[in-house]
Chains A and B, each alone.
Chain A
Amino acid sequence: MTADVRSLSWRLAVLGIVAVLVQIAAISQLKLFGANADITPLVVAAAGLLAGSLPGAAFGFAVGLFLDLALVQTVGMSSLIFLTIGYGAGRLRELRDPQGAVVPIVVGVAATVVAQLGFALMQFLLGHDVPMDIDLIWQIVLTVGINAVIAFPVYSLVRRWLLPALPEDPRRRRRRAYTTGGLSPLSRA
């Protein structure tokens, strides 16, 4: 295991533990119009977007597992959903490398929708009642809306935390080449 991989692993581990604890101890109890933010899919999507599909999927699996264990939920359910989110976000980066400023927000919203619908689908498959009434749809819409608002700050925090352990970002490399011609000794990552 290289030093880079080790550094990324422990940073992802700390990020996952902190994100889950903050979510269940604080954010779940902050209700706005009856709904609350859910930072876990945002953090997983951000990690996938920054670190790639494989670390994203592994991180999603671990975060889901920890969430299920800490909340005494059906073990494996959140893992399956979050590894899909982490892998999907990672593949998006690997295949398209999107660079717009709204990318973290769009990916965050998509991750939240996948998480909400994924939980509904899993509940249905596990034989629980899933009455799709107006209240439920309203709560899903509200959660997606709140997550859209906080998606960018969450992405920025995750990026700041993971940046020292990430391999050279092609985007930063291109930007540097563009602004300095890639020749200046003063250019920094």
Chain B
Amino acid sequence: MYDKSVRRRRVALALLVACSLLLLTAYFGESQGGGLHSVQRGVLQVVSPIQEGASRALKPVRDLFGWFGDTINAKGEVSGLKKQNAVLRRAAIAGTDAVRMNAELQKLVGLDQSAGLQGTKPVAARVIGGSPTIWNSTINIDVGTGDGVRVGQPAITGDGLVGEVTFAASDSAVVTLITDSSSAVPSRISRTGAPGIVQTGAGGPRDLRFNWPSGTGRIDRGMAVVTAGTTSSSDKYESLYPPGIPVGVVTGVDDAGTDTQQVHVDPYADMQRLEFVQVLTRRVNGNRG
């Protein structure tokens, strides 16, 4: 009797492990339109309205936690913000001149003022869920293919770039954040134009890296990093992101000026507390500047 129950337990365990490994292998082997992906799409469609309801119902609790977190963080941020304020004040003075020049240049080349992000047909979305692990930085949003959302479209907030749509069902979608280890955003330093790729590893949500910077000019703390857009003339190499979307600010440079220099970037968008995002559903001029 004892032997029988032990055998049964072991067989059941072996079956469950085998099922898991089988699912893993099958999922990796199939395309986006495969069976398991379709099941995921179906589950997402069923679960997203429930998620949305739960997300709305639990908003007061989230706000309460946010208030505690803000209060604790506020003290530490004051001195940093004072320094940042001084830097930004100088930048604002320079910026006023730049805006005037920009307006004149735009008039000069006959560009439509409204052909910025408005032309990209942004769709507003509510964040209805998020990954619990630090290994996957993803959020679920309440818009999908029915609203024009497709895989590969960028998501932004009022502060800056958030990520890219990596999965879309009819009325919900998954956005992989720029803080995910799989993300890579072609970017440039706003002031100098030096191009590079913004990436991160798991576990460093506020510490992105601006990798492989090239071009002239040194990179200093406080410089803004924006998306580069498509730089190639070939349609094969179109960037997912329109040019000029703020990505983050340079917070430090290790081994500056060397081949191994590490440029640290703090994202503008607060990935920890996303409530609404916009998905840019239309690509204008192949995302070229």
Given the known inter-chain contacts A23-B132, A76-B23, A135-B204, please indicate yes or no for A31 contacting B39, CB distance below 8 A.
no
Whether A28 and B132, one on each chain, are in contact in the complex, defined by CB atoms closer than 8 angstroms, is yes
Given the known inter-chain contacts A26-B61, A57-B12, please indicate yes or no for A79 contacting B23, CB distance below 8 A.
yes
Give chain A interface residues in 47-79, CB to chain B under 8 Å: 53-54, 57-58, 61, 64-67, 69-77, 79
Interface assignment of A162: CB less than 8 Å from any CB of chain B: no
Interface assignment of A102: CB less than 8 Å from any CB of chain B: no
Given the known inter-chain contacts A31-B272, A57-B12, A71-B140, please indicate yes or no for A36 contacting B203, CB distance below 8 A.
no
- Chain A, 116-127, contact with B by CB distance < 8 Å: what is the 0/1 string? 100110010010
Q: Nearest Cβ in chain B — how far from A44, in angstroms?
A: 13
Whether A75 and B133, one on each chain, are in contact in the complex, defined by CB atoms closer than 8 angstroms, is no
Whether A79 and B12, one on each chain, are in contact in the complex, defined by CB atoms closer than 8 angstroms, is no
Whether B62 and A26, one on each chain, are in contact in the complex, defined by CB atoms closer than 8 angstroms, is yes
Given the known inter-chain contacts A29-B62, A76-B24, A136-B204, please indicate yes or no for A21 contacting B13, CB distance below 8 A.
no
Interface size of B in residues (CB-CB distance below 8 Å): 60
Whether A72 and B58, one on each chain, are in contact in the complex, defined by CB atoms closer than 8 angstroms, is no
Interface-central residue, A27, A30, A119, by most chain B CB under 10 Å: A30
Q: Nearest Cβ in chain A — how far from B172, in angstroms?
A: 10
User: Which B residues are in CB contact (< 8 Å) with A181?
Assistant: none
Q: Count A/B pairs, Cβ under 8 Å.
A: 175
Per the bound structure, the CA–CA distance linking A79 and B51 in Å amounts to: 21
| Interface residues of B, Cβ cutoff 8 Å to A | 8-9, 12-13, 16-17, 19-28, 36, 39-40, 43-44, 47, 50-52, 54-55, 58, 61-62, 65, 68-69, 72, 127-136, 138, 140, 166-167, 174, 181-182, 201-207, 272-273
Q: List 14 A-B contacts (CB under 8 A).
A: A21-B54, A24-B130, A25-B129, A26-B58, A28-B132, A54-B8, A64-B20, A72-B167, A75-B40, A76-B24, A77-B24, A129-B201, A130-B201, A136-B202
Supply 8 further A-B pairs (C-beta < 8 A) apart from A61-B20, A76-B25, A135-B207: A22-B54, A26-B62, A53-B9, A53-B13, A61-B16, A73-B131, A83-B16, A87-B13
| Interface residues of A, Cβ cutoff 8 Å to B | 21-36, 38, 40, 53-54, 57-58, 61, 64-67, 69-77, 79-80, 83, 87, 115-116, 119-120, 123, 126, 128-133, 135-140, 143
